[in-house]
Amino acid sequence: MHAPYQIQGLDTLTIAQQFGLPLYLYDADRIIRQIDTFRSSFTGVNLKIKYAAKSLTNLSILKLMRTQGVDVDVVSVNEARLAMLAGYTPQQIMYTPSGNAWSEIQEAISLGLRLNVDSLPLLEQVGQNYGASVPVCLRINPSVADGGNFKIQTGHANSKFGIPNDYRDRIAAVVAQYDMVVIGLHIHTGSDFKDAGTFLKGASVLFDMAADYPDLQFIDFGSGFKVAYREGDIVTDLADLGTRVSAAFQAFCQRYGRELELWFEPGKYLVSEAGHLLTQVNIVKQHPTRRFVQVDSGLNHLIRPMMYDAWHDIVNVSNPDGEPTLYDVVGYICETDTFATDRLLPEVRTGDVLSFENAGAYGFSMASTYNLRERPAEVMVYEGQAHLIRQRDTFEDLTRGMVDIDVFTTVETI
Ligand SMILES: *Cc1c(COP(=O)(O)O)cnc(C)c1O
The ligand 1 atom nearest the CA atom of 139: 13
Amino acid at 386: A
Name the maximum alpha-carbon separation found in the chain: 87
Q: State pTM to two decimals.
A: 0.94
Q: How far is the CA of 263 from the centre of ligand 1 (A)?
A: 12
Q: Are strands 6-7 and 163-164 parallel, antiparallel or unpaired?
A: unpaired
Residues 6+ apart with CB under 8 A from 6: 12
C-alpha distances in Å from residue 116, one per residue of 7, 113, 262, 366: 38, 9, 15, 23
Mutate to test the pocket of ligand 1, among 51, 70, 73 (most ligand atoms within 8 A of CB): 73
Say whether 213 counts as a known binding-site residue.
Answer: no
Contact residues of ligand 1, CB 6 A cut-off: 52, 54-55, 73, 75, 96, 188, 191, 222-225, 265-269, 361
Residue ID of nearest Cα to ligand 1 atom 14: 52
Written in H, E and C, the secondary structure of the chain is CCCCCEECCEEHHHHHHHHCCCEEEEEHHHHHHHHHHHHHCCCCCEEEEEEEHHHCCCHHHHHHHHHCCCEEEECCHHHHHHHHHCCCCHHHEEECCCCCCHHHHHHHHHHCCEEEECCHHHHHHHHHHHHHHCCEEEEEECCCCCCCCHHHECCCCCCCCCEEHHHHHHHHHHHHHCCCCEEEEECCCECCECCHHHHHHHHHHHHHHHHHCCCCCEEECCCCECCCCCCCCCCCCHHHHHHHHHHHHHHHHHHHCCCCEEEECCCHHHHCCCEEEEEEEEEEEECCCCEEEEECCCCCCCCHHHHHCCCCCEEECCCCCCCEEEEEEECCCCCCCEEEEEEEEECCCCCCEEEECCCCCCCHHHCCCHHHCCCCEEEEEECCEEEEEECCCCHHHHHCCCCCCCCCCCCCCC
Does the annotation list 148 as a binding residue?
A: no
Q: Considering only CA atoms, which of 402, 278, 293 is closest in space to residue 23?
A: 278
Catalytic residue, from 1, 309, 321, 334: name it. Answer: 334
Own/partner contacts of 237-241, CB < 8 Å, gap of 24 or more, are 237/194, 237/196, 238/37, 238/38, 238/41, 239/41, 240/196, 241/41, 241/196, 241/199
Could you tell me the CA-to-CA distances from 54 to 148, 260, 337 in Å, in that order?
Answer: 19, 26, 23
Which of 319, 316, 282 has the alpha carbon at shortest distance from 297? Answer: 282
pLDDT digits (tens, 9 = 90+) for 106-148: 999 999 999 999 999 999 999 999 999 999 999 999 876 554 5
Q: According to the annotation, is 298 in a ligand binding site? A: no
What pLDDT is recorded for position 153?
55
253 given a catalytic annotation: no
Phi, psi of 170 (to 5 degrees): -65, -40
Q: What is the pLDDT of residue 2?
A: 85
pLDDT for the residue 161: 86
Strand partners, 380: 26, 387
pLDDT digit of tens for each residue in the chain (414 aa)? 788 899 999 999 999 999 999 999 999 999 999 999 999 999 999 999 999 999 999 999 999 999 999 999 999 999 999 999 999 999 999 999 999 999 999 999 999 999 999 999 999 999 999 999 999 999 999 876 554 545 555 556 667 889 999 999 999 999 999 999 999 999 987 655 667 887 888 899 999 999 999 999 999 999 988 888 888 887 888 889 999 999 999 999 999 999 999 999 999 999 999 999 999 999 999 999 999 999 999 999 999 999 999 999 999 999 999 999 999 999 999 999 999 999 999 999 999 999 999 999 999 999 999 999 999 999 999 999 999 999 999 999 999 999 999 999 999 887
Ligand 1 atom closest to 269 (CA): 9
Q: How far is the CA of 393 from the centre of ligand 1 (A)?
A: 27
CA 190–ligand 1 middle distance (angstroms): 7
Q: Which amino acid is at 198?
A: T
The bridge status of strand 10-11 relative to strand 385-390 is unpaired
Q: How far is CA 244 from CA 2, 30, 253, 353, in A?
A: 41, 25, 14, 44
C-alpha R_g of the chain: 24
pLDDT digits (tens, 9 = 90+) for 175-216: 999 999 999 999 987 655 667 887 888 899 999 999 999 999
Distance 266 CA to ligand 1 centre (A): 6
φ and ψ of 313, to 5 deg: -60, 145
CA distance 238 to 314: 26
Which of 191, 227, 264 for a ligand 1 pocket mutation test, highest count of atoms within 8 Å of Cβ?
191
Question: Which residues have C-beta within 8 Å of that of residue 393, sequence separation ≥ 6?
Answer: 369, 374, 375
327 among the known binding-site residues? no
- C-alpha closest to that of 136 among 70, 183, 191: 183
